[in-house]
Amino acid sequence: MGPIAVAIHGGCGTLARDLQGEAQWEETRQHLAASLRAAWAILRSGGRALDAVEAAVVVLEDSPHFNAGYGAALTEAGDHELDASIMDGATLAAGGVCAVRTLRNPVRAARAVMERSDCVLITGPAADEFGRRCGLDVVPNDHFTTARRVEALAALKARARRGTIVPASEAERHGTVGAVALDREGHLAAATSTGGFNNKPSGRVGDSPIVGAGTYARDGVCAVSGTGQGEIFMRRVAAYDVAARMRYGGASLDEATRAVVFEDLHSHGIGAGLVAVDAGGGIVAPYNTLGMARGWIGADAAVRVGTHAEMIEMGAA
Amino acid sequence: MGPIAVAIHGGCGTLARDLQGEAQWEETRQHLAASLRAAWAILRSGGRALDAVEAAVVVLEDSPHFNAGYGAALTEAGDHELDASIMDGATLAAGGVCAVRTLRNPVRAARAVMERSDCVLITGPAADEFGRRCGLDVVPNDHFTTARRVEALAALKARARRGTIVPASEAERHGTVGAVALDREGHLAAATSTGGFNNKPSGRVGDSPIVGAGTYARDGVCAVSGTGQGEIFMRRVAAYDVAARMRYGGASLDEATRAVVFEDLHSHGIGAGLVAVDAGGGIVAPYNTLGMARGWIGADAAVRVGTHAEMIEMGAA
């Protein structure tokens, strides 16, 4: 039986430490750990990487601490448009949704697109309707709204009205959650889900629902989920570029992800990060911002999570 | 001054020869030639590859013979949802729209997204509204409707009602138009535009608006525009994969595109084709179907177009 591994991120737009109380940071870490444990329980019992990444992302979507599902960023119109995707490295099957408004867990909708439609990507109200017909949880759009996002949007709009030239902080710009996993059969999978960013234009689609941009998995190579300014991930085809550097260029996972995050994406002056796992269970989580909510469980079965530089052990999986 | 080149496709879903009269085939070839000449006039006078591919695609969008713009396929709901993208190999800037319904030339909307928004991809009514605000031509949705598509949709639906197990023909499935070009400055660009396929589910997004899937350009490497079952291009990240095989694997344009079309895409049992140009002005146009509407102008400045195996010279550019 081969190694198993899971890694997750909760976005490279981590708040500065002093912008949130310790109780909130602790809850953030607990939710990261819960996400990892949900995936690990599946992997440990011989389950599929695909199921593990979906389970991990569902936990993060349901947490208010991350910009996906409940707690998602608000558009310029003050509502939510959610994007997600999932990819099965065993078959290169993939599914995604963009600009959905009423599905509690967009990653489940992405999975349904992959398995229950002939499409890879469905957009807008048709995606909501597809998810509803598949029996997924339907919620009103304001289910996703939290006080923190309402305040952040109001502050951004107030600054814009005053003409204050203060660029949006990384925390305001770069949410997104994602997971990558390797199962006992050697299959890799990746999933990503996001609310975009505060004050995003209605109809804007980022990298998270796009195969090759924000999400990619291929058995024998790697699984990748990205976070950061999605437009640059799209232009760089960043998630697939990690795999291409390994497949065609002979790079290791560490070399490939470092080149993508610290050279290619960084060269555009944007915040960027990702989590990735390779076919041997190696895990990396590079980012170029102040912090990135993240965590993993690898060979030693310890649960490790972090929001800034240091990683904290949260006990055994 | 370096070489210039342009290549276009009008989809790998060419009709069987006997399904259309010779006058219709001749008009198809004339429209392909007009598209090439529009691009060539720009390139020859020192203009940008980006402008050339946009101009070439606009001609194909306005022709009823191709599945993009006027003459686009109809969705299952009997209307049109159009996707397009464009990419500038000089900067890796890109823009795309999906599921637009009222913009006469979706490729122009993609260009506007690239140059006049902070987005790479805008979906649905927000994309229509963005295009309108940019001053693009707005038309009613039925502007795009032609008798041929209405009849094709009716025939498909009648077969479905009878339960006849006749798979949709390549011609019913694989439209799309696209262009790639190299300009005197050595810059590459690519653009793709489509109506999807007849009877497509509303909200379905294919590869055409997706950077790396249906469209890709990078100076010094190649420009690619694809046609075929979009879902497989998305799962294979096909357009960028051509570039990755060249960048990291040292493949030539011919080797890279053959591997993608005749090995990777073909392995899924789908119809697929593409046009591509490399940094030296080399042109390829592989496809695995009965035919692919296509054409190019290269070093000898002759206009060559074809819809099935043979290429026909249409005079000097």
Residue-wise pLDDT tens digits, B81-120:
999 999 999 999 999 999 999 999 999 999 999 999 999 9
Q: Which of A79, A211, A233, A252 to mutate to test the interface with B (most CBs of B within 10 A)?
A: A211
Secondary structure class of A313 (helix, strand, coil): strand
Catalytic position from the list A28, A102, A176, A227:
A176
Neighboring chain B residues of A124 at a CB cutoff of 8 Å: 99, 123-124, 203
Helix axes B22-44, B49-61, angle to 10 degrees: 160
CA separation for the pair B234, B209 (Å, rounded): 10
The model's confidence at residue B162, banded by pLDDT at 50, 70 and 90, is: confident
Asked whether the predicted pLDDT for residue B46 surpasses 90, the reply is yes
pTM: 0.96
Our answer to whether residue A194 is catalytic in this structure is: no
Neighboring chain B residues of A236 at a CB cutoff of 8 Å: 92
Instruction: Kindly list the catalytic residues of B.
Output: 176
CA separation for the pair A174, A152 (Å, rounded): 13
In which region does residue B142 sit, left (phi positive, over 0), alpha (psi from -120 to 50) or beta (all else)?
alpha
CA separation for the pair B181, B281 (Å, rounded): 8
Yes or no: say if A81 and A90 are a contact pair by the CB < 8 Å rule.
no
The alpha-carbon gap from B199 to the nearest alpha carbon of chain A, in Å, equals 12
Minimum-distance CB partner of A126 among B127, B203, B237:
B203
pLDDT value at position A13? 84
User: Which segments of A24-120 are extended strands (E)?
Assistant: 82-88, 93-100
Minimum-distance CB partner of A126 among B119, B126, B202:
B202
pLDDT value at position B99? 97
- Mean pLDDT across chain A, nearest whole number? 95
The three-state (H, E, C) secondary structure of chain B, written as one string: CCCCEEEEECCCCCCCHHHCCHHHHHHHHHHHHHHHHHHHHHHHCCCCHHHHHHHHHHHHHCCCCCCCCCCCCCECCCCCCEEEEEEECCCCEEEEEEEECCECCHHHHHHHHHHHCCCCEEEHHHHHHHHHHCCCCECCHHHHCCHHHHHHHHHHHHHHHHCCCCCCCHHHHCCCEEEEEECCCCCEEEEEEECCCCCECCCEECCCCCECCCEEEECCCEEEEEEECHHHHHHHCHHHHHHHHHHCCCCCHHHHHHHHHHHHHHHHCCCEEEEEEECCCCEECCECCCCCCEEEECCCCEEEEECCCCCEEEEEC
User: Which segments of chain A are extended strands (E)?
Assistant: 5-9, 82-88, 93-100, 121-123, 177-182, 188-194, 204-205, 215-218, 222-228, 272-278, 283-284, 294-297, 302-306, 312-316
Minimum-distance CB partner of B123 among A118, A203, A241:
A203
Structure tokens, B26 = 């001749």
Yes or no: say if B155 and B172 are a contact pair by the CB < 8 Å rule.
no
Asked whether the predicted pLDDT for residue B288 surpasses 90, the reply is yes
- Tell me whether residues B234 and A245 touch, CB distance under 8 A: no
Yes or no: say if B271 and B289 are a contact pair by the CB < 8 Å rule.
yes
Structure tokens, A208 = 């998270």
The model's confidence at residue B174, banded by pLDDT at 50, 70 and 90, is: low
Residue-wise pLDDT tens digits, A79-136:
999 999 999 999 999 999 999 999 999 999 999 999 999 999 999 999 999 999 999 9
Give CATH for domain B5-309: 3.60.20.30
pLDDT value at position B165? 59
- Tell me whether residues A120 and B234 touch, CB distance under 8 A: yes
B24 C-beta neighbours (distance < 10 Å), count = 14
- Tell me whether residues A235 and B120 touch, CB distance under 8 A: yes
CA separation for the pair A174, A292 (Å, rounded): 10
The residue-averaged pLDDT of A287-294 equals 95
Distances (CA, A) of B105 to B55, B69, B130: 10, 6, 13
Residue whose pair of structure tokens reads 């992997």 in the numeric block: A43
- In total, the C-beta contacts within 8 angstroms joining chain A to chain B are 141
CA separation for the pair A179, B167 (Å, rounded): 37
Closest-CA residue of B relative to A212 is: B237
CA separation for the pair B180, B215 (Å, rounded): 9
Closest-CA residue of B relative to A98 is: B123
Neighboring chain A residues of B237 at a CB cutoff of 8 Å: 211-212, 216, 237, 240
- Tell me whether residues A235 and B211 touch, CB distance under 8 A: yes
Secondary structure class of A4 (helix, strand, coil): coil
- The amino acid sitting at A100 is V
- Tell me whether residues B122 and A234 touch, CB distance under 8 A: no
Closest-CA residue of B relative to A90 is: B235
Structure tokens, B126 = 């927000």
Residue whose pair of structure tokens reads 């007849």 in the numeric block: B198
pLDDT value at position B72? 95
The model's confidence at residue A157, banded by pLDDT at 50, 70 and 90, is: confident
- Tell me whether residues B99 and A241 touch, CB distance under 8 A: no
The alpha-carbon gap from B263 to the nearest alpha carbon of chain A, in Å, equals 15
Query: Residue A186 forms beta bridges with which residues?
Result: none
For the CA atoms of B305, B310, B312, B317, what is the dihedral angle to 10 degrees?
40
Length of chain B: 317
Q: Which helix (H) or strand (E) holds A173?
A: helix A170-173
**Percentage with pLDDT > 70 across chain B:** 97
CA separation for the pair B248, B252 (Å, rounded): 11
pLDDT value at position B274? 98
Residue-wise pLDDT tens digits, A126-150:
999 999 999 999 999 999 999 988 9
Residues on B contacting A at a C-beta cutoff of 8 Å:
87, 92-94, 98-99, 117-127, 129-130, 201-206, 210-213, 216, 230-231, 234-237, 240-241, 244-245, 247-249
Would you say the C-alpha torsion B25, B26, B31, B35 has a positive or negative sign? positive
Residue-wise pLDDT tens digits, A159-212:
888 876 566 665 666 679 999 999 999 999 999 999 999 999 999 999 999 999
